[in-house]
Amino acid sequence: MRDLMQERLHLQNHPGINPQPFRSKVVSIVEDSIILEKSFCYPKGGGQPGDKGTLSSQGITANFSEVHARELIHHPVNDVSIFEIGQELVCTIDANRRNSLAITHTAQHIVSAMADELWDATTVGNQLGVEESRIDLLFDDKSRFQQQVIQENVNEILGTNTRVSVANWTAEEILSDDRVRNRSFVSRILERLPTHVEHMRVVNIEGIDICPCAGSHVDNLSQLPGIEITRIKQKGAGKIRLYYSM
């Protein structure tokens, strides 16, 4: 496995919506998963679920379930015996699922940015979903939180003509730019990165938020509908879990 090479192309794919079918060869079969020479599939991580879709070749079609990764991206299927190493496949990503998650992920950046601006709240966790998503916010004084206020502030921004772009930055660039949100929290994440990782993918929502993120996003906030904060939970000292849908 360590000798296998794989192009993980989802990091270069922006905007992250409307993924197109792509061709790739099978380079390995590991337990219940197909390993492709290259993949545009997003593997679950960073709070965003992985892609699902189909693999097909010469009359054979199989659904793959949620893609995951460590060193390599795994495309799990029910029956790996119908595939063989060296076989060329067409991979078709479930575009409706990807689009929904890209929209939701972009909205999460706005919610986190507004919580920071309104109350200096730090986003310490999130889990995105097609139906409902959640964000964990850490406050110095969580009694300041007002559900209606943040919903209104976020919805004033969503739907506007605001550009969303990505770029690769060094750790030094990230930590020295005061526009980057929650730099102390980001610094702890950067400390855990392997030494060979020289750059991180940074998402820039023009004039609103700059944050390291490997997830999929739209390229303009005009593509986003409003959010509804559906419920909140108290999660111990200083922490609130906020649930929203779109």
- Which of 49, 64, 93 finishes a domain? 93
Q: Which residue has the higher pLDDT, 193 or 55?
A: 55
Query: 190, 238, 240: which is closest to 211 by C-alpha?
Result: 190
Quote the mean pLDDT of the chain.
93
How many whole angstroms separate alpha carbon 30 and alpha carbon 78? 12
Expressed as residue numbers, the domain containing 126 is 98-245
Number of Cα atoms under 13 Å in the Cβ half of residue 246: 24
Asked if residue 231 has pLDDT above 70, the reply is yes
Share of the chain above pLDDT 90, in %: 80
The answer to whether position 113 is within a domain reads yes
- Which of 60, 93, 126 finishes a domain? 93
The answer to whether position 1 is within a domain reads no
- Which of 66, 93, 120 finishes a domain? 93
Report, as an integer, the average pLDDT of 115-127: 95
Say if residue 103 is in the same domain as residue 215. Answer: yes
Q: State pLDDT tens for residues 156-196.
A: 999 999 999 999 999 889 988 988 987 777 777 777 766 77
pLDDT-based confidence at residue 2 (cuts at 50, 70, 90) = low
CATH number at residue 191: 3.30.980.10
The answer to whether position 2 is within a domain reads no
Question: Is 222 in contact with 160 (CB distance < 8 Å)?
Answer: yes
Say if residue 233 is in the same domain as residue 128. Answer: yes
Q: Is the peptide bond before 19 cis (omega within 30 degrees of 0)?
A: no
Say if residue 126 is in the same domain as residue 230. Answer: yes
Say if residue 233 is in the same domain as residue 117. Answer: yes
How many whole angstroms separate alpha carbon 104 and alpha carbon 13? 17
Q: State pLDDT tens for residues 12-54.
A: 899 999 999 999 999 999 999 999 999 999 999 999 999 999 9
The span from the first CA to the last CA of the chain, in angstroms, equals 40
Asked if residue 3 has pLDDT above 70, the reply is no
Report, as an integer, the average pLDDT of 87-104: 98
Say if residue 170 is in the same domain as residue 209. Answer: yes
How many whole angstroms separate alpha carbon 11 and alpha carbon 114? 26
Question: Is 46 in contact with 91 (CB distance < 8 Å)?
Answer: no
Task: Report the amino acid identity of residue 219.
Answer: D
Asked if residue 206 has pLDDT above 70, the reply is yes
Asked if residue 134 has pLDDT above 70, the reply is yes
How many whole angstroms separate alpha carbon 42 and alpha carbon 50? 5
pLDDT of residue 1: 52
pLDDT-based confidence at residue 70 (cuts at 50, 70, 90) = confident
Say if residue 121 is in the same domain as residue 211. Answer: yes
pLDDT of residue 197: 72
Number of domains in the chain: 2
pTM of the model: 0.93
